[in-house]
Structures are given as structure tokens and as C-alpha cells.
Amino acid sequence: MKRLSIKMRVTLWYTGLIVIIMALVLAFILTSSDKVLLFNMKDQLKSTVKES
């Protein structure tokens, strides 16, 4: 079995690293936006209940 060249190994390593970093950033953004959305919904519900 032929070994990959050093250029290919480094390229694959960096590609994998970037994919992992982007997945972590996406997970953070989705989690943060979910918390903000829930906070805004609860705040709006509280103000609606106070007004009635």
C-alpha cells in the first residue's frame, strides 16, 4: 500500500481540523441562538400576561 505524500497528509490533517472547528462554532451558535430565542419568548409571554 502506497503511503500518502507529506503534502496530502498535511492537507487532510488541516482539513479535518477546520471541519472540527467549524462544527464546534456551529454548535455554539445554535445553542446560543436557542437560549436567546427562549429568553425572548419567555419575556414576551410574561409581558403579555402582565398586560391582561
pLDDT in tens, 1-52: 789 999 999 999 999 999 999 999 999 999 999 999 999 999 999 999 998 8
Residue that is written with C-alpha cell 471541519 in the block: 19
- The rounded distance, in Å, linking the Cα atoms of 52 and 49 is 5
Residue ranges of domains in the chain: 1-52
Contact 4, 12 (CB under 8 A): yes
pLDDT at 52: 80
